[in-house]
Structure 1
Amino acid sequence: MDKTEKNQIVDSDIAQLLLKHRKARNWTVTELAQRSGVSQAMISKIERGVSSPSATILSRLANAMNITLSKLFAELEEHQNSLVRFAHQQQHWTDEQSGIIRWTLSPAGASPELIKVEIPALGQLTIPASAIEHLCGQTLWMLSGNLDFRVNHQTHHLQAGDCLALTFAGECQMTNPDSEQSCTYIVAFSQKNR
């Protein structure tokens, strides 16, 4: 597994995983593009490791293959423990385009899954409805900073300690309005039974 620092997921890891999952389904790049809404050229660049996917693009690709990013990233774990994921084992991935950092907190296979997200000052993250339609819902708990969470044309202004429960699929746009401080939150979610 390629690592630039301890537990850092890098582009070559993602490239190998996406290629493996696409081939396991006997899909062409064209088929994955049609299912995900991501261009063939971008998928090809990601699979060759020459382009770094944004969080939005990675979410679309994972959703097209009916897996969460947490489950995708769990495959990179060298020593899986189904009961405990110690702090020093928590993997993280940085979206190089936006600076957003995503940590996998829960052990592989846990339900609900827990992730921690940090959005830099004035950063923004958009998650298409298609990327969360296979979830039972999700609950977001703010740890620090401020977050404007927009879903279905309604914006919720959240700060540390606030908790938002999203029980339906809709495009979500998260914006950190602070020009100096990052914001951090935890999300809990479970996949629908298929």
Structure 2
Amino acid sequence: MVKKADNQIVDTEIARLLLKQRKNKGWTVAELALYSGVSQAMISKVERGTSSPSATILSRLAGALGITLSKLFAEVEQSQNHHILLSRKYLQQFWTDHQFGITRWSISPAGADPEMIKIEIPPQGKLSIPAQAYEHLNGQTLWVLSGQLDLQIDTQAFHLDTGDCIGLTAPADCHLHNPDEKMPCIYIATFSQKKT
């Protein structure tokens, strides 16, 4: 009985989000039917929440509206949990600096506080971050997941091994270096934005 109730809630949210997407495009039900290949009658039932759409129908509707099913379901989850923000692994964005070989992943969901990122520095890789980059933060904490990390914070030097954690409470020029010749260093950084 609980599963049926949960499905009805999800169907209602899907109906609301599909209707919202269609209206955002300025399309009529007939236009969505034309672009998706789903009948007007079925679209009307889905948008009213009186029919639970199959994965095929949902895929066609989402595709025609220019959104992915994963984005649609992420919006459903967010709308059901206003106080919970979720970041699925397969949706997390990453960026690689090809000059230095450093990769940065955005781990935390948008709007989370504190924010969390994962950074990988290749063997013998280096990264310098000026103090100005931290001026809008309340500080940050670095936790080494694997490998080693040498830090120079202003004039102080630190060596971190796997599992070590360091917190920076004020802006400072930071120079990070992976001293290992074979293994990358992977660490997590968490930080909060200053309230304006």
Count of residues in correspondence between the two structures? 118
Q: Alpha-carbon deviations, 1:46-72, whole Å to 9, x = none?
A: xxxxxxxxxxxxxxxxxxxxxxxxxxx
Between the aligned partners of 2:86 and 2:104, the Cα distance in structure 1 is 19
Between the aligned partners of 1:129 and 1:152, the Cα distance in structure 2 is 9
1:111 positional shift: 0.5
Between the aligned partners of 1:155 and 1:100, the Cα distance in structure 2 is 21
1:96 positional shift: 1.1
Gaps of at least 5 residues in structure 1 are 1-77
Give the structure 1 partner of residue 96 of structure 2.
94
Please tell me whether Structure 1 or Structure 2 has the larger radius of gyration of its CA atoms.
Answer: 2
Normalised to the residue count of structure 2, the TM-score between the two structures is 0.58
Amino acid at match of 2:189: V
Give the structure 1 partner of residue 163 of structure 2.
161
Give the structure 2 partner of residue 127 of structure 1.
129
Gaps of at least 5 residues in structure 2 are 1-70, 79-83
Between the aligned partners of 1:190 and 1:85, the Cα distance in structure 2 is 17
User: Which portions of structure 1, spanning 4 or more consecutive aligned residues, are displaced by more than 2 angstroms?
Assistant: 78-82
The RMSD of aligned alpha carbons is: 1.6
Greater share of helix? 2
Normalised to the residue count of structure 1, the TM-score between the two structures is 0.58
| Aligned counterpart in structure 2 of residue 178 of structure 1, from 177, 180, 183 | 180
> Quick check: 2:85–2:111 contact (8 Å CA) kept in 1?
no
Between the aligned partners of 1:84 and 1:156, the Cα distance in structure 2 is 34
Amino acid at match of 1:171: D
Amino acid at match of 1:139: T
Amino acid at match of 2:160: L
1:92 positional shift: 0.4
1:167 positional shift: 0.3
> Quick check: 2:148–2:179 contact (8 Å CA) kept in 1?
yes
Give the structure 1 partner of residue 144 of structure 2.
142
1:12-91 alignment, distance < 5 Å? 81=78, 83-91=85-93
1:109 positional shift: 1.1
1:152 positional shift: 1.4
